[in-house]
Amino acid sequence: MPRGRIEIIEEYCKGCQLCVKFCPKDCIEISTDKINPNGYLLPIFVSEDECTGCGICGWMCPECTIDVYRYIEN
Amino acid sequence: MPRGRIEIIEEYCKGCQLCVKFCPKDCIEISTDKINPNGYLLPIFVSEDECTGCGICGWMCPECTIDVYRYIEN
Amino acid sequence: MKDKSSDVKKVTGRPDLRLLSLGMYCPGCHYGIITRVICEVIEELGVAGKAIGLAGVGCSFGGAPMTIDIDWTSCPHGRAPAMATAIKRIYPDAMVLTVQGDGDLGAIGLGCFMNALVRGENLTTIFLNNAVYGTTGGQMAPTTLLGMKTTTTPLGRDIQTNGYPLHVPELAATMRGVAYAARCTVHTPANFQKAKKSLKTAIQKQIDGIGYGIVEFVSACPPGWGLKPLECLDYISERMLEEYPLGEFKNVDKTD
Amino acid sequence: MKDKSSDVKKVTGRPDLRLLSLGMYCPGCHYGIITRVICEVIEELGVAGKAIGLAGVGCSFGGAPMTIDIDWTSCPHGRAPAMATAIKRIYPDAMVLTVQGDGDLGAIGLGCFMNALVRGENLTTIFLNNAVYGTTGGQMAPTTLLGMKTTTTPLGRDIQTNGYPLHVPELAATMRGVAYAARCTVHTPANFQKAKKSLKTAIQKQIDGIGYGIVEFVSACPPGWGLKPLECLDYISERMLEEYPLGEFKNVDKTD
Amino acid sequence: MTERILVAGNNAVARGAIQAGCKYFFGYPITPQSEIPEYMSKELPKIGGIYVQSESESGSIYMVYGGGLTGKRIMTSTSSPGLSLMAEGLSYLAEQEIPAVIVDVVRMGPGIGTGGQGAQTDYLQVTKGCGHGGYHAIVLAPASGQEIFDLMQLAFYLADKYRGPVMVITDFILGQTEEPIELRTLDFGPLPEKEWALTGKEKRGGKRVTHVAAFFTYQGILNYQMKLIEKYAEIKRTEVRYEKYLADDCDLLIVAYGSSARIARGAVDMGRANGLKLGLFRPITLWPFPVEAIAEGASKAGRVLVVEDSQGQLVEDVEASVKGRVPVHLLGMWGRHNVGGGGIIHPERVIEEVEKLNEG
Amino acid sequence: MTERILVAGNNAVARGAIQAGCKYFFGYPITPQSEIPEYMSKELPKIGGIYVQSESESGSIYMVYGGGLTGKRIMTSTSSPGLSLMAEGLSYLAEQEIPAVIVDVVRMGPGIGTGGQGAQTDYLQVTKGCGHGGYHAIVLAPASGQEIFDLMQLAFYLADKYRGPVMVITDFILGQTEEPIELRTLDFGPLPEKEWALTGKEKRGGKRVTHVAAFFTYQGILNYQMKLIEKYAEIKRTEVRYEKYLADDCDLLIVAYGSSARIARGAVDMGRANGLKLGLFRPITLWPFPVEAIAEGASKAGRVLVVEDSQGQLVEDVEASVKGRVPVHLLGMWGRHNVGGGGIIHPERVIEEVEKLNEG
Amino acid sequence: MDYHELMIAGTGGRGVLLIGRLLAQAGIETYKYALFFPNYAPAMRGGESECTVMLSDSAIGSPVIFKPACAIAMTGSALTLMENRMRSGGSLIVDSSVISDRVAREDITAYYIPATEKAVYLGGTQAANMVLLGAYVEHTKAISLDLLEKALDNRLQGESKKPILELNKKALNEGAGLMANYES
Amino acid sequence: MDYHELMIAGTGGRGVLLIGRLLAQAGIETYKYALFFPNYAPAMRGGESECTVMLSDSAIGSPVIFKPACAIAMTGSALTLMENRMRSGGSLIVDSSVISDRVAREDITAYYIPATEKAVYLGGTQAANMVLLGAYVEHTKAISLDLLEKALDNRLQGESKKPILELNKKALNEGAGLMANYES
Ligand SMILES: Cc1ncc(C[n+]2csc(CCOP(=O)(O)OP(=O)(O)O)c2C)c(N)n1
Ligand SMILES: Cc1ncc(C[n+]2csc(CCOP(=O)(O)OP(=O)(O)O)c2C)c(N)n1
Ligand code: SF4
Ligand code: SF4
Ligand code: SF4
Ligand code: SF4
Ligand code: SF4
Ligand code: SF4
Ligand SMILES: [Mg+2]
Ligand SMILES: [Mg+2]
């Protein structure tokens, strides 16, 4: 059951892949064809089920362009 | 019996009295009236008998204006 | 996808202080991550309103003032500590922060920095060590590793011609006016958190009037190193940290 | 009076290298004694012909070039290490010596000096610490003691405004390119001899290509301190040496 | 009545600054101006101000830069080699439009020069661009203790009015000469708020202020330059200052500033007493330069003698103003009587030169 | 035949220096000149020379000072803010008469300016006294890759001949433009021995050499200044260099140096092709300035248009030369077409200006 | 007088400066004078980039021209720029794979070359610039393709560079071919 | 117009500048304008020293004069200097205790005051300058002795300064007395 999810504001992404590298659950992959207007290959959030909403990808994004949400049990 | 003696080249003396202070045998005194052309009160070698020719007054003279001689036993 | 907003908490995102700007940095430049560190620490300490930042000449020059929402000035190359001195003396309640590269602080600004330490200023300095002059195209910096190739050490830095890499926080730690000196990185999530703690401590020293705080960030410059962003991470672990060990070199509650 | 010249040996006098000049120094200034130290060491090492001296701006400026019979240049205030760098790089066989005051090296020239250490130059520096700017009329220097009154610290140097006294050889000792760092005085005959030994060691390091050597001389400035020459001697023993301990802080046969 | 005291020019600099509300001084010792920082180190703490001894003149100017950014009145003083070390900083102050007052108590140059020589060898440097980039600073050249005191106040006002560095230049003679001054407060009128000051954004309701290079406003870089050009044109139109002494009925116009103007004034008096119809034109602002007024005065007199204690620097501006319409002569530093360390052009020497010219 | 290669102006600087026998380079990175130290760091070690990366431009100039004292050929290069940091050092080089070559690849100022702007905003600084004390340096302003290469060689020669700093000034456009150059060696004739070089006294049979301030020779300080004045006068008499292009039958004389002169030359060609009788006067030495030649050319043409990519600096010298005899117009940096980061005055814009003038 | 001038405009990453420099390099084999002027903003990473190349047998006056006789546009904004600036009667070569706009001016001739598309087909987008350069030399005959290939040989030496060298050469020829068979 | 000018020359240690400054300080009580200009070489320790004092009721032009109307010479070389420079008809006051030379010029009047001798007698050589200053004011009546004494009071305050204050005052009066009874 998914515990979190992320949103990448693609406009500001520079395709550095740090998010890809640091997600402990391998939820992010780099695409091979999705390019933003600045010409950068974009990462894709591929594994919603695994995401724990740990926030790490957000911290490590140099462009601060990932929002991370965690689902709360109420 | 004197073992050494010194010569002060008075022209270059600045009357600082370091020689007076450091002679271990108190062989040098500052005069009260002997003034060189630059207006400095001059030191006087007063105690030939005590001088060991140790060289200390020479080292310590900021103007390098004391020559120290030692008598050699031959 | 669960979507009821009541169930969802935003854990992280662009910090409030982080301005929207088409980033000033190259892809994979750690300065962007450090910017987050700075924003979060200032927010957590609640000092954004009192903060005055001074950006050195270098990639920090454009980056910091354009991305962090506090008062800023850029500075002539290497001179931030002198400018910061005047600002802090005039406004002792301000939180005054310099952000300087290794060329800026370690070469042209070394005298300016050291003299601020001699005077015992009460400031915080973020020292960005990417081992090169990034902005001008990757020339040797004082922190360039031995053997490292740059555009002005085409055969690699050698001791004979260019001496040894400069260790800034260790040097600063020897100065009596310094309250805090540390080195950190943001090249892993764990280090990111440690870096936040370090910077927070350094700024707190200023707020408490204890003395100068300096935090070095060892950080990647992909084009300067001729490496891809991910390769840089290994270069940091394997090469940079060997020369530049992480840790606190000074942390005192009172200078003497 | 015994007088036959065969019986008499001149034990000391004006060293050969010491030029006859109506001294450039005030009465009781220790720089005159240090001049002897320099002359004797250069003579004993036999390097007068290879020696190139660089005098900082300050009382050393006039004094050294006018009183020691080697090649000399005066330098812009604080810049001797940069100039010396070029000379030594171009003439690696020369014995290159800078003579700099505490204002010259410790304030305006601190960056220049530190950067020469970063580059790992192979030079010798004589650092004259009289705790004031003697030449310009006794203003505060970075080495002024806490509480000491100068013309710009009329109530005495305080930490809040002016920070802590600067310890140059200790600082230099932390730099990897430095082979020798020591502090000495000439305020007693015993110390005069130790000072000679220190300077000789430092110059030998240069000759042997080992690395930078720096020797600090704590020395009296009677007008700057507002004391008579003999009073200065006590001031050194009682006050200066408390802040500035004598000794060798580094002495290595190989830098790393 | 305002107080009247006998003080040296260097002291008048410091007192004038304090009178103008300057509480922050950043400086470094150098002869012949060290009395200024010394006085400041003693007096500023008493009025809640701060004296910081910088590590060098570069340190001073960057502290002035930082200090100026806070919106407070800030100054430094130095002498020639020290001014050179401020070149980069001065250019930045001009670019970033930071008000500040910089005093140069000129010593003889080039190089180390000497602090004990009354010289005027920095004219080109202060008027034409010590730093890069073609900026200008208003340069005020007082010629007496009172004028030093007064122009220091004006300097702070102009710095605020035009947002930029203003320089006051004196020299060994003016700095050491003791004359009575009246401690009067000059009021030049109101000035705009300094909304641009860096204070931390909470003091401006959360609106931040940034000072970054014109370079970041790519579309605006030319606008920036045009604004600068217009500012300088405005200063040239409105801030030219000079003084004439017996200049309207003379047959030889002496042009001189600062200490040389005082000496020349002595010579004018001596000359008039002996039937020589001399007059004096004294630029008070060296930049902007009183081009028209000199041209007019020169035309009226028919010939000009520039007296300046240098290799010939002011004379270039005088020639450019006069445009070849009347002859311009120069008595430069070779007019000095070289006594002790302090060479000086005496009024008697000026008269001698006039007589030589008269003989033809 | 000598080799002919396509290189950028910055590269021509470095190659020209090496051709002149310069083996010692002291420098610091700054856009748009970093290619010079980069090339030197690669090439000098191969020929037994030395590249030292200084810690700053002040470091560079003091290293140049020390290096120059050894009698070897020495240089540094920088760009505008860096040049400001050399102000004190330059003044010392002049005072102590140390030969050295300093290259300024100008970037737009004041302040931080920008490295990506082809600008000529350092004219006043380099010609009028970046440093204190009224010294002068010969300033050479090449306008093509080949001329850069050639004038670098001349610069070293003049530095040795007159014992002092010589400056070569280019800019972003000239530094980046790639053109073919011939790697020819220029011979300017013999030079005196450098007996004044610091080498350690054993190399001079035990006779020591000292370089201390003029200040220590109290009786000689005025003699020192007179020698300096005479040296500058001599340079003004003999070293003025300029180039004229279609300047003898024109009805408008364009005066421009460096990259602007190239652009103006393009404009002259365009204009001539369209019936406009334009000519170009290009000062090669900015100091000494070709005062007489410009005055003559201006009189012949009847009017002058100065084209310079700055706020108006060269124009002051042109006006001072022309002395009001014919009108002098200026197309300054406002003539730029501001594309991307790199504003440029194009030849088409010059023609536009000429047409405006023609319309009156 | 044999004279050619070309401006190339695009963004930093697209190899604008590279083909300009290559053309000038090859050009000095044929012409007495050649000039290459890169105009870019070093401080803006990945910002707009343009360059000028001139080849001539008589001395070249200005290193910059406002209204070129010939231009290559590699991005949309470059097209706008060049269209505005070009001299009447000039030729504008456009990478039509990335630029969908058409040239509106009627006093210049546009050549739409699908450079990026062809480059991808040949082996990599980065060779789009070579396609355009090939088209340019074919169109103007300023220099021979051979010389360009030689210049490429010089620049890309060694085994490891071989694939990219081959790609570039193919792209050059492809561009020349496209231009030779161009029908508007 | 009431106007006085005085140059004082000697070496650093002899209090040349001190009496000049004192005279100017006292002078502003009487005159609308006063000026003191010390000319010395800061770099030469114990070098030659001279100063100029002017007192006037109208604005003072030059702060320096080459040919003073009145001068005090405290050393032999100062005497030579001043004798060469003085204006015709001027008065030159000489410390005859230390200067054995006589003034040769006939167009100036010399006053030989045994200042050092008198000072030693009164309690210390350092007061020789005051003896000369006393002689000067007595001779010129430029200002009253009272004002000088008041200026001294201001300068030398506190119990510890009392002996030296007394010495100086005595020396001033001694000098005035010597001049009053001067016979050449
Ligand atoms: C006085 C001066 N010299 C040189 C420069 C050129 N310059 C700009 S940034 C820089 C160095 C950048 O290196 P660093 O401080 O390490 O910052 P980084 O770009 O690596 O973050 C230099 C030398 C300048 N702007 N001013
Ligand atoms: C650029 C510059 N700034 C200031 C000075 C003035 N100055 C001459 S000597 C000196 C300092 C002397 O102090 P220090 O180095 O301690 O030498 P000391 O006289 O005490 O031996 C200063 C500031 C100068 N010559 N050049
Ligand atoms: S929040 Fe954590 S688990 Fe989710 S994508 Fe980011 S790094 Fe991966
Ligand atoms: S870390 Fe940020 S910039 Fe980098 S690829 Fe991921 S989202 Fe893009
Ligand atoms: S040589 Fe020794 S004993 Fe003799 S006078 Fe000198 S210090 Fe005294
Ligand atoms: S130490 Fe030398 S200078 Fe001092 S009093 Fe003795 S002889 Fe004279
Ligand atoms: S050049 Fe280096 S330091 Fe500068 S933005 Fe790019 S990666 Fe970061
Ligand atoms: S001022 Fe001080 S340091 Fe200088 S000569 Fe005099 S005593 Fe020595
Ligand atoms: Mg860096
Ligand atoms: Mg000192």
pLDDT, greater one: G71 or H39: G71
Q: What's the pLDDT band for H177 if we cut at 50, 70, 90?
A: very high
**Does position H46 have pLDDT exceeding 90, yes or no?**
no
Identify the domain containing residue G122 by its residue range. Answer: 3-183
* pLDDT band (50, 70, 90) for residue H41: low
Structure token digits, residue E249 = 């009925």
Cis peptide upstream of residue E32 (ω within 30 degrees of 0): yes
Q: How confident is the model at residue E342 (pLDDT cuts 50, 70, 90)?
A: low
Residue H49: band (very low, low, confident or very high) from pLDDT cuts 50, 70, 90? confident
Tell me how far apart the alpha carbons of residues C111 and E81 are, in angstroms, rounded to a whole number: 18
Euclidean distance between CA atoms F153 and F18, whole angstroms = 9
Residue F217 domain-assigned?
no
Interface list for G 32-61 with C (CB within 8 A) = 42-43, 45
Decide if pLDDT at F170 tops 70.
yes
Strands H3-11 and H33-40: unpaired
Buried b (16+ CB within 10 A) or exposed e, G135-157: bbbbbbebbebebbbebbeeebe
Q: Is residue F106 located within the same domain as residue F176?
A: yes
Cβ–Cβ gap C85/E52 under 8 Å: yes
- The Cα diameter of chain D in Å comes to 65
Per-residue confidence band for C2, with pLDDT thresholds at 50, 70 and 90: very low
CA distances from G125 to B40, F103, F328, H178 (A): 89, 41, 53, 106
CB pairs under 8 A between E and H: 99
| For chain C, percent of residues with pLDDT exceeding 90 | 91
CB contact under 8 A, E74 and C119: no
Cα(C127) to ligand 9 centroid in Å equals 9
The mean pLDDT of B25-51, rounded to a whole number, is: 87
E31 and D153: CB-CB below 8 Å? Answer: no
Is D9 inside any structural domain? no
Closest approach of F222 to chain H, Cα-based (Å): 15
The reply to whether F159 and F285 lie within a common domain is no
CA-atom Rg of chain F in angstroms:
21
Taking the CA of residue C134 as reference, the ligand 7 atom at the shortest distance is 1
Can you give the residue range of the structural domain that contains E315? 243-359
Per-position DSSP letters for E210-235, written without gaps between them: EE--GGG-GGGHHHHHHHHHHHHHHH
Q: Choose the final residue of a domain: F132, F152, F183.
A: F183
Query: Does F contact G via 3+ CB–CB distances below 8 Å?
Result: yes
For the domain that residue H17 is a member of, what is the CATH number? Answer: 3.40.920.10
Q: Which of D133-137, F337-341, G18-22 has the lowest mean pLDDT?
A: F337-341
DSSP structure string for E268-335: HHHHHHTT--EEEEEESEEES--HHHHHHHHHHHS-EEEE-SSSSSHHHHHHHHHTTSS-EEEE-GGG
Is some CB atom of chain G closer than 8 A to the CB atom of A39?
yes
> Considering the domain boundaries, does residue E206 fall inside one?
no
Nearest to G66 by CA among G85, G91, G90, G93: G85
- Residue found by looking up tokens 């310069």 in the block: F22
- Residue H43 has a pLDDT of 44
**Which is the closest atom of ligand 1 to the Cα of C130?**
20
How many residues appear in chain E?
Answer: 360
In the reported structure, the alpha carbon of residue G44 is separated from the centroid of ligand 7 by a whole-number distance in angstroms of 11
Residues C75/C83, Cβ–Cβ less than 8 Å = yes
Among the ranges given (B21-35, D1-15, E186-200, F57-71), the one the predictor scored with the smallest mean pLDDT? D1-15
E206 touching chain G per CB within 8 A? no
Tell me whether F340 touches chain G (CB under 8 Å): yes
Amino acid identity for residue C10 in this structure: K
Respond yes or no on whether the N-terminal peptide bond of residue F288 is cis (omega within 30° of 0).
Answer: yes
C3 in any annotated domain: no
pLDDT at E84 over 50: yes
The residue-averaged pLDDT of D116-141 equals 97
Q: Per the omega criterion (within 30 degrees of 0), is the bond before F32 cis?
A: yes
Q: Is the pLDDT of residue G110 over 80?
A: yes
Helix (H, G, I), strand (E, B) or coil at C227: coil
* Amino acid D129: pLDDT: 98
**Which structure tokens are listed for C26?**
């190259």
Q: How far is ligand 10, taken at its centre, from the CA of residue C241, in Å?
A: 40
F329 in a structural domain: yes
Chains in contact with A, where contact requires at least 3 CB pairs less than 8 Å apart: C, G
Contacts of F124 in chain E (CB under 8 A): 128-129, 134
- Domain count of chain H? 1
The average pLDDT across E339-347 equals 75
Compute the distance between CA of residue E358 and CA of residue E346 in angstroms, rounded to an integer: 19
pLDDT in tens, C195-241: 999 999 999 999 999 999 999 999 999 999 999 999 999 999 999 99
Average pLDDT over residues C64-85: 96
CATH for D111: 3.40.50.970
E341 and E254 in a common domain: yes
pLDDT classification of F295: cutoffs 50, 70, 90: very high
pLDDT-derived band at G47, boundaries 50, 70, 90: low
Q: What Å distances lie between residue G108 and E138, F270, G71, CA to CA? A: 52, 20, 11
What mean pLDDT comes out for the span H76-94? Answer: 94
E135 falls within a domain: yes
Q: What is the CA radius of gyration of chain H?
A: 15
In a domain, D6, yes or no: no
Please tell me the residue having the least CA distance from ligand 2 atom 9: D58
- Better-predicted residue by pLDDT, H125 or F276: F276
Domain co-membership, E264 together with E147: no
At F327, phi and psi to the nearest 5? -70, 140
Q: What is the mean pLDDT of residues D209-214?
A: 98
pLDDT score, position F145: 98
Up-side HSE of residue A27: CA atoms within 13 Å toward CB? Answer: 25
Tally the residues of chain B.
74
> Model-level pTM?
0.97
Residue H45: pLDDT over 60: no
Is C16 among the domain residues? no
Is residue C86 one of the residues assigned to a domain?
yes
Q: Nearest CA to E103 among E195, E46, E20, E3?
A: E20
C100 is a domain residue? yes
**Inter-chain CB proximity A17 and C10 less than 8 Å:** no
User: What is chain A's mean pLDDT, rounded?
Assistant: 91
Domain containing residue E270: CATH number: 3.40.50.920
Contact of F215 with chain H, judged by CB distance below 8 Å, is answered with yes
pLDDT at H127 over 50: yes
**Where does the pLDDT of residue F218 fall: very low under 50, low under 70, confident under 90, or very high at 90 and above?**
very low
Is E213 an interface residue toward G (CB < 8 Å)? no
- The shortest CB-CB distance from D26 to any of H42, H43, H45 is to H45
Q: Retrieve residue D130's tokens.
A: 């009289």
In chain A the domains, ranked by start, together with CATH numbers, are 4-70 (3.30.70.20)
Which structure tokens are listed for E112?
């180390």
Confidence band, pLDDT 50/70/90 cuts, at residue D62: confident
Residue E34 structure tokens:
């060290």
pLDDT, position F341:
52
Q: Name the G residues in 36-95 with CB < 8 Å from any A CB.
A: 46
Angle at F155 between CA F150 and CA F156, to 5 degrees: 105
What is the pLDDT confidence band of residue E339, given thresholds at 50, 70 and 90?
low
Residue F6 to residue G33, Cβ atoms within 8 A = no
**Angle subtended by helix axes F57-69 and D110-118, to nearest 10:** 80
Least confident of D85-89, F212-216, F296-300, G78-82: F212-216
Residue ranges lining ligand 5, Cβ < 6 Å: B 4, 6, 23, 25, 27-28, 51-57, 68
Q: Where are the alpha helices (DSSP H) in chain C?
A: 31-45, 59-67, 80-90, 102-103, 110-118, 159-162, 168-173, 189-207, 222-225, 229-235, 241-243
**Number of domains chain E is built from:** 2
Question: Cα–Cα distance between G79 and G84 in angstroms, integer?
Answer: 8
Closest to H67 (Cα-Cα) out of E278, D245, E25, E266: E266
Check residue C117 and give its pLDDT. Answer: 98
Which pLDDT band holds residue E153 (cuts at 50, 70, 90)?
Answer: very high
Mean pLDDT, range E148-152, rounded to an integer: 98
Please check whether residue A35 touches C, CB under 8 A: no
Expressed as residue numbers, the domain containing C177 is 24-251
List CB contacts of F278: < 8 A, sequence separation 6 or more: F246, F250, F252, F254, F267, F268, F271, F272, F354
Would you say residue F111 has pLDDT above 50? Answer: yes
Domain contains C14: no
Write the CA distances from D75 to C101, D114, D121, E84, F210, integer angstroms. Answer: 30, 17, 18, 15, 11
Alpha helices for B1-74 (secondary structure H): 18-22, 56-60
Give the chain A residue nearest G46 (alpha carbons). Answer: A38
Average pLDDT over residues E219-247: 92
Position F340 scores a pLDDT of 53
ipTM summary value? 0.97
Query: B13 CA distance to ligand 6 centroid (A)?
Result: 5
**pLDDT band at residue F113, thresholds of 50, 70 and 90?**
confident
Q: Write the DSSP assignment of F289-340 as a string of letters.
A: --HHHHHHHHHHHS-EEEE-SSSSSHHHHHHHHHTTSS-EEEE-GGG-EEET
E244: β partners: E281
Q: What is the CB neighbour count within 10 angstroms for residue F206?
A: 10
Report the Cα E10 to chain-centroid distance in Å: 13
H145 residue type, one letter: L
Instruction: Note whether residue E235 is domain-resident.
Output: no
Q: Look at chain D and report how many structural domains it folds into.
A: 1
DSSP annotation string for G40-97: E-TTSTT-EEEEEEEEESS----S--SS-SEEEE-SHHHHHHHHHHPPTT-EEEEETT
Q: Are residues E171 and E247 in the same domain?
A: no
Measured between alpha carbons, how far is residue F1 from residues F183, F184, F185, G34 in Å?
10, 9, 12, 19
Q: What is the mean pLDDT of chain C?
A: 95
